[in-house]
Chain A
Amino acid sequence: MSALLEVSGVSKSFDGFKAIDNLSFSVGEPELRAIIGPNGAGKTTFMDLVTGKTRPDSGTIRYGELAQDLTRMSEAKIARAGIGRKFQKPTVFDDQTVTENLTMALKSPRSPFTVLTRRPSMIERAAEVAQRVGLRSDMNARAGTLSHGQKQWLEIGMLLAQEPRLLLVDEPAAGMTAAERERTTEMLVEAAKTRAVVVIEHDMEFVRRLGCRVTVLHEGRALAEGSLDHVCADPRVIDVYLGRPETADA
């Protein structure tokens, strides 16, 4: 299992506050990985760094066989290279239909002039994805009218439609009903069979259900790594979590 994403020695600070401090991390393909950590551990900043939303102060982020340097690429280019991101809050285009949301996400050339041309086949491909995330019957509904859970699925569907090699998922289970969680877990595990999936999660129960390697992030550093039971036994991890209420990462 070769590393698909290789983060080495990355630091990022905001006005003196070190959000990420000399972090090294790697994930292979295919692999399912969970990142846990208390508030302010730098989980979201980590995602921002990988997806190009923010640039690191130092360190490198290499991706893929060609070891492309992600710190020099635009967000869109990183996305086209095969890295998909799911936000904490479901961010779908409320004003557009499920079909439109999915069609936009489908893997295909992205330049303005190619996009102008019509491809009827894309509707079928969108329908397939909708089928997979259970939104087949809501294809013509505006995303804004979907329930919270459905929006989460739609977003996961959009990620799947992108056919990424690396999926970054930020708190997918937040605000879901038990049944929806179940379904989400299945989808992620399924997705991780063919690609790398990195899940950032608070909910230990949810992480346990994923049954994968876990990296514990604390104050911008990787504190521990291994199976969930392994890291939970780590005294440093216990130190960090003890006495800290588990609130939602703001």
Chain B
Amino acid sequence: MTSTATNPNGSAVETVDRRRPMLFRTDVLIFLSLLALVTVGATVLAQAGFVSTSFVKLLGKTLCLCLAALAMDLVWGYTGILSLGHFAFFGIGGYAIGMWLMWDRTELIVVETLVRGALPPTPLEIEEAIGTQIFGVVGSSDIPWLWTFAGSLPLQLAFAVLVPGAIALVFGWLAFRSRVAGVYLSILTQAGTLALSLWLFQNDSGLRGNNGLSGLQNLPGLDHVPQSTVSLWFLWASALALGLGYVVAAWTVSGRFGSVLRGIRDDEARVRFLGYEVEHYKLAVFTGTAMACGIGGALYYPQAGIVNPAEIAPIASIYLAVWVAIGGRGRLYGAVIGAAVVSLLSSWFTGGGAPDIDLGVYVIKWTDWWLVLLGSSFVLVTLFAPKGLGGFVDLWTNRRSTRRDDLGPDQGSLRAEEETP
């Protein structure tokens, strides 16, 4: 129905020259320069003592969240799959790296204690001591099978990417194969996320129940390096990951692959009749972005210091979608802007940074009212500014939008239905 609409703006001309190498495309260049500016700037200011370590960490964490938002934008903004589970992949990445951090550090501490004994420690003793240290909090000292490879950094790093990928692959295969789409898919992903978080909440899940993994900010064997330095390492790593992620994402969404993705979003059936296996594309994007989220989480949680099942709860994934929506879907910088702005604002408001407003009869404390503000402003953005903050970039670049409001990432699921006579 919507496809018959014609645009009174007439024929606008595509401004992006697709033949230029990806790295030198304007938007990519601007983004990379800004990212470099922020990173270098923060480093310099931190070295000079103008910004605190916790601020550097906040910045680093925000960059990781931006990476997750970028992934979310690919999967939702471009492909039209509103996944309410991508933050779970982020959390899994955190758990994977957290297991190594916790294991290795505990091992160092344990060995240090045990060598003081009369007999040199045996591997079994070390393992038992680690088990007691890590799992004592959930009333156990056995080492769950999940921790089999926890002592190996390369394997756990691989898991941070492969486990989210594998879960996304299996889940996506099941869901896409049976043509679950639209809100159904959203609910299904949300349910899957809930199942995962409930499982993690149990004490016998093997991942310390609701205690989660903690002390992740301490790198094993690097106790002598101050956190101010470590935080800068992670800032740079996060910036690198985000920059790389942006370039890969930009490369993916341009060209024919991107066309197919947007085609799936807008009219899935039509793409099928063009001979593309829609399910394979969805699966590729779903899995790829899950892996990207895993990377983001693996970088985020060592900066946050703790990962627990609450991080994986469905609401976190919904927030991820909210960031992307506020930033503006279907444009990569929109996702980054949304994640950065909302998460930084959120830290500012909930961290007590925002001044309370005294109304005389009532004092608005932002720690209490921030969520009300966020929730309502999100509704307002959806209603009145569907393009999100990214829309301001359009205004600024003075780009005449040829995109009609009814041609959003939402349309895919709907059009397939209405086509049926």
B263 touches A148 (CB 8 A): no
- The residues of B that contact A250 with a CB separation of less than 8 Å are 421
From the candidates A51, A91, A95, name the one contacting B403 in the complex (CB within 8 A): A95
Interface bracket on A? 35 or more
> With an 8 A cutoff between CB atoms, is A100 at the interface?
yes
Q: Quick check: B255 and A85 within 8 Å, CB to CB? A: no
Task: Provide the residues of chain B in CB contact with A67, threshold 8 Å.
Answer: none
Contacting pair B284 A112 (CB below 8 A): yes
Residue B256 is within 8 A (CB to CB) of chain A in the complex: yes
Interface segment among B86-94, B234-242, B271-279, B381-389: the answer is: B271-279
A76 CB contact (under 8 Å) in B5, B266, B272, B407: B272
Partner-binding segment picked from A2-10, A115-123, A234-242: A115-123
Interface string of A154-172 (1 = CB under 8 A from B): 0000100010000000000
User: A111: which B residues are within 8 A, CB to CB?
Assistant: 277, 280
Say whether A90 faces chain B, with CB atoms less than 8 Å apart.
Answer: yes
B13: chain A residues at CB < 8 Å are 140-141
Q: Which residue of B lies closest to A113 (CB)?
A: B284
The listed residue with most B CB atoms (<10 A of its CB), out of A110, A138, A250, is A110
The size bracket of the interface on B is: 35 or more
User: Are the C-beta atoms of B6 and A144 separated by less than 8 Å?
Assistant: yes
In the complex, what distance in Å separates the CA atom of A138 from the CA atom of B270?
A: 22
Q: Are the C-beta atoms of B273 and A75 separated by less than 8 Å?
A: yes
Quick check: B272 and A97 within 8 Å, CB to CB?
Answer: no
Instruction: Report B115-140 CB contacts with A as 1/0, cut-off 8 Å.
Output: 00000000000000000000000000
Contacts of A208 in B (CB 8 A): none
Residues of B within 8 A of A110 (CB): 275-277
Contact across chains for A104 and B4 when beta carbons are under 8 A apart: no
Alpha-carbon distance between A79 and B278 when the two chains are bound, in angstroms: 12
Among A44, A96, A115, A148, point to the contact of B4 (Cβ < 8 A): A148
Q: How far is the CB of B157 from chain A (nearest CB, A)?
A: 24
In contact, A115 and B274 (Cβ under 8 angstroms): no
Q: Which of A93, A123, A147 interacts with B6 by CB under 8 Å?
A: A147
Which of B11, B259, B276 is close to A138, meaning CB atoms less than 8 Å apart? B11
Query: Is B233 among interface residues, defined by CB-CB distance under 8 A?
Result: no
B257 at the interface (CB under 8 A from A): yes
Considering only CB atoms, which chain A residue lies closest to B403 in the complex? Answer: A95
Q: How far is the CB of B369 from chain A (nearest CB, A)?
A: 38
Nearest CB in chain B: distance from A113 CB, A: 8
Give A77 to B257 CA distance when docked, in angstroms. 18
**Distance between Cα atoms of A57 and B259 in the complex (Å):** 35
Q: Is B113 on the interface with A (CB-CB < 8 A)?
A: no
- Chain B residues in 8 Å Cβ range of A87: 270, 419
Q: Are A53 and B269 in contact (CB under 8 A)?
A: yes
Q: Let me know if A145 is at the binding interface, CB within 8 A.
A: yes
Complex contact B260–A104 (CB within 8 A):
yes
Q: Is B105 part of the binding interface, using a Cβ–Cβ cutoff of 8 Å?
A: no
* Residues 67-108 of chain A, each 1 if its beta carbon lies under 8 Å from chain B, else 0: 000000011110110001101011111111101110111000
A51→B272 CA distance, assembly (Å):
10
With contact pairs A74-B277, A104-B274 given, residues A90 and B262 touching in the complex (Cβ less than 8 Å): no
**Residues of the B chain whose Cβ atoms lie less than 8 Å from the Cβ of A231:** none
Contact A146 B6, beta carbon cutoff 8 Å: yes
Q: Which of A51, A85, A95 contacts B407 (CB 8 A)?
A: A95
> Which residues of the partner chain B approach A138 to less than 8 Å between Cβ atoms?
11
Within the complex, the shortest CB–CB distance from A138 to chain B, in Å, comes to: 6
* Chain B proximity of A247: nearest CB distance (Å): 13
Which of B9, B256, B272 contacts A75 (CB under 8 A)? B272
What CA separation (Å) do A86 and B306 show in the bound complex? 55
A162 touches which of B2, B275, B280 (Cβ 8 Å):
B275
How far, in whole Å, are A148 and B9 apart by their CA atoms in the complex? 15
Question: Chain B nearest CB: distance from A226 CB in Å?
Answer: 28
Residue contact B263 to A112, C-beta cutoff 8 Å:
no
A residues contacting B by CB (< 8 A) are: 44, 51, 53, 74-77, 79-80, 84-85, 87, 89-97, 99-101, 103-105, 110-113, 115-116, 118, 120, 122-123, 138, 140-142, 144-148, 151, 158, 162, 250
Beyond A101-B259, A140-B14: 10 further Cβ-contacts under 8 Å?
Answer: A76-B276, A93-B259, A94-B2, A94-B407, A104-B263, A110-B277, A115-B256, A115-B257, A116-B257, A144-B402
Residues of B within 8 A of A (CB): 2-7, 9-14, 18-19, 252, 255-257, 259-260, 262-263, 266-267, 269-278, 280-281, 284, 402-404, 407, 419, 421
The 9 closest A-B pairs by CB, nearest first: A79-B275, A141-B11, A75-B272, A145-B7, A80-B275, A140-B14, A112-B284, A76-B277, A100-B259
